[in-house]
Structures are given as C-alpha cells and as structure tokens.
Amino acid sequence: MKKMISFFLAMALAFGMFAMPAGAEAKHVREKSPIIMISGSSVDICDAEGNIIPTGIEVLTDGDDDEDGGISTDAIVESAFNILKPFLLEGLPFDKWDNYGQALYDELAPIWDQTQIDGDGNAKYGTGVSAEEIAYWDNRAATVDTGKDGVFNINDYKFRYDWRLSPYDHADRLHEFIKTVLKTTKCDQVCLVSRCIGGAVITAYLERYGSEGLVKKVVYDATLSNGASVISDVFSGKIDFNDKYIQAYLLESEYFGLQGLGIDLAGVDTMLLTLAEKAVDYMTQSGLMQGALWTVEMLYERLAEAFLPSLLLATGIGTWTSYWCSVYEEDFDAALNFMFGEEGSERRVEYAGLIEKIKYVREHNTKQFPDLYNTFADEYGVEIAAFVAYGLVNPPIGENQDETGDVLVGVQDASFGATASGLFDTLPQEYIDERIAAGYGDFISPDGKIDASTCLFPETTWFVKNEHHDSATLLYRFAEYFTQYTNVTVDNNGKGYSRFLVRDMETNNIVNMTEENCQDGPWITAVVQKPTVKSIFKAFVDFIKLLFDFIKNLFNGEEAAA
C-alpha cells in the first residue's frame, strides 16, 4: 500500500513539474550575445577630407560664403529673386511652371550638391560617413572583446554606414562586420539594435543573409523600414493641409524644441513663441487659418509637379534611396512617376541607375511586407522586438496627417501593424467591446488609442506615449535587457515594463501607463475641436493682449538700450 501511495505521489509530482511552466513566468537567463548598434540619420555625413556636410536647413546658415560653409544674405536674396521671376511672370499669370521648376532646381541644387546621390545611386564626390570613424569601429570589432565578463552593452559595437544609400549597399559589409565581432568575442550569434532608418539596413541584411543564422535577436526602434506615411505622401505628391494639425504641430515643436528635441528653438524669444501660439489658436478657431490654407492648396495644385520634385531632388532628399524604403507599395509607382517623370522621360534617363536601386529595394523589401518578417522569425529563428512611440503629430503636410506617431513615423508602421486611432480620437467603443469580447482586452491601451493584438509581434512590442522620435529613452533603458536575457516579453520581463508605457510630463521618466496617467500631451489638448463664439472671442482677446505686451516690451527694450 505504501508503495502504491509513493507511486501516485511521484506521478503527481512529475505531472506538477511539467504543468508548472504553463502557469508560471518563464525565468530569464543571461545570454552572452554581442550587440551591434545601427543608428539612423543622426550619423554625420562628411566630405572626402572628413569635414561635416550639412544635410538639412542648416546649410543656409547666415554668414559669408567662405566662412564655415555658410551662405551670405546677398546670395540668398539673389537666389530667391531668380526663383520668383518665372513664378511671377510665367506661373501665376499663364499657368506655365516648367521654367519655375527648373529655376528652383538650378538655384538650390548647388547649395545641397554634396548631400545628393547621383544618377547611378552613388554618393557624389566621395562623401559619406568619415573613413576614420568607420575604421575605428571596424578595428574595435576586430580587436576588442567587450564581453569578457559575459556582459555586452548597446554601445560596444557600432556599424557605421552612409544612411543616404540603399540599405542593400551595406548588407555585405555588415555581414563581414558581424563575422568579425563573432570571431573576436567567440560567440555564435549577435543581436542587432536599430534606430530609425537603421532598421532598413537590418531588414536588408536579414533578407540577404538571415538564413545563415548569425542573428539571434533584433530590436527595431522607431523604424522607418516598414513605411512612413509622411514620406510616402510627399514622394507621391499627396499634399494636404489642415489647420488643427498644423496648430498641434506648432505647439508640439515649441514644447520639444525647448527641450532640445526636434526643431531647435534655442535663442528664440519665449514671448514671441507664445504670441505665435495665440495667433494660430485664434486663426484656427475662427476659420481664418483654413481659409488661408485653402488658397495655398489651390496654388499647390497648379505648381505641384514643378515645385515638389525639384525641391526634393535639389536638396538630395528625393535621391536618398534609404528613404524609398518608407514609400508604401500602393504609392510606389505613382511616387516614381511624380519624382522622376514617366518612363522614357529625360529625368528617368538621368537617374536610371538610382531608380534601379530603388526598384530593387521595393522588390526585396517593401513589396514583401509582412511575409519577410515572418520568415525572419519563423524560418531563421530571429526574435524581433519593436519599440513604438506615439501621441505626437507627424508633419502635417500629407493626406495621412491624422495618424498618431512620434513626429516622423506612425504607430501602424513602426509596430508592424498595430491598429491605432486618429490623433485627436480614440478607437470606437464598439470596436473595443468586440476586441474585449474576443479575449484581446489586454491588448487595448488604457487611453483607448492602440490595439496591439494586430501587430506582427504583439508579445515583444512596447508602446510609449508622448515620446519623441529623437529621444529613444526606452531603447537605451531596455534594449540591453531584451537582447541579453531569454524569455523577455511584455508580460514577463525583469524591468517591470508593461505593454503600454508613457513618458511622465513632469519627471520625463518612462512609467507604465494606467487610466490615471494616460492623458494626451498639451500639444493635443490645447487644440479646440469644437470652437464656440465664446472660445473664439477669448482666443482673440488673448492674442491682442499678448500682442500689446510684446510691443510694449519691445519699446522698453529699445529705451533701455538707448
């Protein structure tokens, strides 16, 4: 009898041990896996001598032509005159815009000449990330085992590349970089962590070399590799304006600009910023802003084909093959035609080599989403995590400006398919009730704006509200933990991070989102959705009062200076 009891006890214990993992959290075990960081466009582009080349509006910094690369005021005035002449004499009166588009390109292209990619899809004049910086990280990968103690960090190994080029231009060199790191560290696999357009490099690499099994985990942070509506809209000419989104974007730019993120507002008078804010508030509520935007849209429809392609090609943006990863499949053909003209056109011939690289990206990347990422995970065994920021206004210039994002990429794209509400809205209550009834209640964010159940990797995708694209707070706090430990998911991680997080507006800390702290940022809540006579009058009074205060301070300042 005792033997029989002992047998049943042993069997019960055995079954209990097998059943435990189903009801308990899987333990986290440290893995020794080197981390390779692949940043986005934050890496400086340099000329052949290693001097930094401005790739944005900073190229127009006021100064002498031969001092610090700045453009003189006289030169800017002369260029503006040359552009305006055909605009005023041919475009507006006769609706002829070809000469205007050519003049725009001729004046701007020399200014951004070094930032452009040539017609064959290569960098002009040997520009790119400095050879010295690339050599430093290549040498580090070949000689320094940072994980001798079994611990690797996110900044141990960095893969530097010219982010303007096709991500496939870097796949072979990244492959050699990875093999070098593995040889140095005596490990079998690496973890790849990306920021922004760096995600496209990882995707291109895995599409070409993923079957070799050298990559264990990947982190996509604010990735543009799956598309970005603002780029897709602009490249295909789908421009649209809305007063409320513009107001929210200006408020957001003021808020984050004063914190050193996004648009640089250093040195801008605070009262002047507030004055502009009040003026836009009044114009938006009263309808004056939308009336002005209607005029702009009418004009844009007339000159779009001459203006936008010339601007994007002259500044180099339209030639950056990496940005074409962000053009949606449904917009791709329209974008090629809009930017380079129809098949056989002069511009198509001029950029034939570049267009071939762009098409290659489409066929091997854009066109295959989402099957490509399922292949990485299911066939190659790569664990994929995504960090997604939202709650901010993306540039309010395209047809998809209603999406909530991180000022550059929207939730659906950065998360590989999560469902999101519009910027000022929440998901319909009927939809939320249906998802809860279907057992997906835990995937609905406390603010009612996100349904994470529809993204490709819902168990390893984290959402951070009110986080700026340039901040990357979660990346640097959590990517190392995800890559260095096993079984890390939204429901089971040693950092205590839930699926939905929020940046605390007072402390700037990332905390778990609750119904009590999930409020929209002031750049959203300050925009009046349904103006009344009273709110319009108050906005007008606030603007006039501040205008008088500004003028008074201006005169007081001049008197003090005298």
φ/ψ of 413, rounded to 5, equals: -75, -45
Mean pLDDT, rounded, for 330-339: 96
Please report the pLDDT score of residue 258 as a whole number: 82
- b or e along 163-191 (b: 16 or more beta carbons within 10 Å of the residue's beta carbon)? bbbbbbbbbeebeebbebbbebbebebbb
Q: Which range has the worst mean pLDDT, 120-134, 255-269, 356-370, 434-448? A: 255-269
Q: Is 463 helix (H, G, I), strand (E, B) or coil?
A: strand
**Predicted confidence (pLDDT) per residue in 159-207, tens digit:** 999 999 999 999 999 999 999 999 999 999 999 999 999 999 999 999 9
Please report the pLDDT score of residue 550 as a whole number: 85
Give the closest residue to 255 by CA, choosing from 280, 274, 281: 274
Q: Which range has the worst mean pLDDT, 137-141, 483-487, 542-546, 558-562? A: 558-562
**Predicted confidence (pLDDT) per residue in 224-279, tens digit:** 999 999 999 999 999 999 999 999 999 999 999 888 888 877 777 888 889 999 99
- Residue 247 makes CB contacts below 8 A (sequence gap 6+) with 280, 281, 284, 289, 526, 527
pLDDT at 520 > cutoff 90? yes
pLDDT at 58 > cutoff 70? no
pLDDT at 17 > cutoff 50? no
Six-digit token string for 175: 């492959």
Please report the pLDDT score of residue 13 as a whole number: 32
pLDDT at 12 > cutoff 60? no
- Model confidence band, residue 60 (pLDDT cutoffs 50, 70, 90): low
Please report the pLDDT score of residue 14 as a whole number: 35
- Model confidence band, residue 77 (pLDDT cutoffs 50, 70, 90): confident
Six-digit token string for 200: 């496209």
Share of the chain above pLDDT 70, in %: 92
Mean pLDDT, rounded, for 55-79: 65
Mean pLDDT, rounded, for 378-386: 98
Six-digit token string for 50: 């290693």
Residue with the larger pLDDT of the pair 12 and 408? 408
**Predicted confidence (pLDDT) per residue in 117-159, tens digit:** 999 999 999 899 999 999 999 999 999 999 888 889 999 999 9
Please report the pLDDT score of residue 205 as a whole number: 98
- Model confidence band, residue 70 (pLDDT cutoffs 50, 70, 90): low
pLDDT at 555 > cutoff 90? no
Please report the pLDDT score of residue 90 as a whole number: 92
pLDDT at 75 > cutoff 90? no
Q: What pTM, to 2 d.p., does this model score?
A: 0.91
Q: Is 440 helix (H, G, I), strand (E, B) or coil?
A: coil
Q: Across all residues in the chain, what is the average pLDDT? A: 90
Please report the pLDDT score of residue 417 as a whole number: 97
Mean pLDDT, rounded, for 381-403: 96
CB atoms within 10 A of CB 83: 19
DSSP structural state of residue 442: G
Mean pLDDT, rounded, for 379-400: 96
Mean pLDDT, rounded, for 364-389: 95
- Residue 468 CA to chain centroid, in angstroms? 9
Please report the pLDDT score of residue 558 as a whole number: 52
Please report the pLDDT score of residue 556 as a whole number: 72
Please name every residue paired with 139 in a beta bridge, in sequence order, or none if there are none: none
pLDDT at 11 > cutoff 60? no
- Residue 507 makes CB contacts below 8 A (sequence gap 6+) with none
Please report the pLDDT score of residue 390 as a whole number: 97
Residue with the larger pLDDT of the pair 270 and 307? 307
Please report the pLDDT score of residue 265 as a whole number: 77
Give the span between the Cα atoms of 26 and 489, in whole angstroms. Answer: 10
Mean pLDDT, rounded, for 17-37: 69
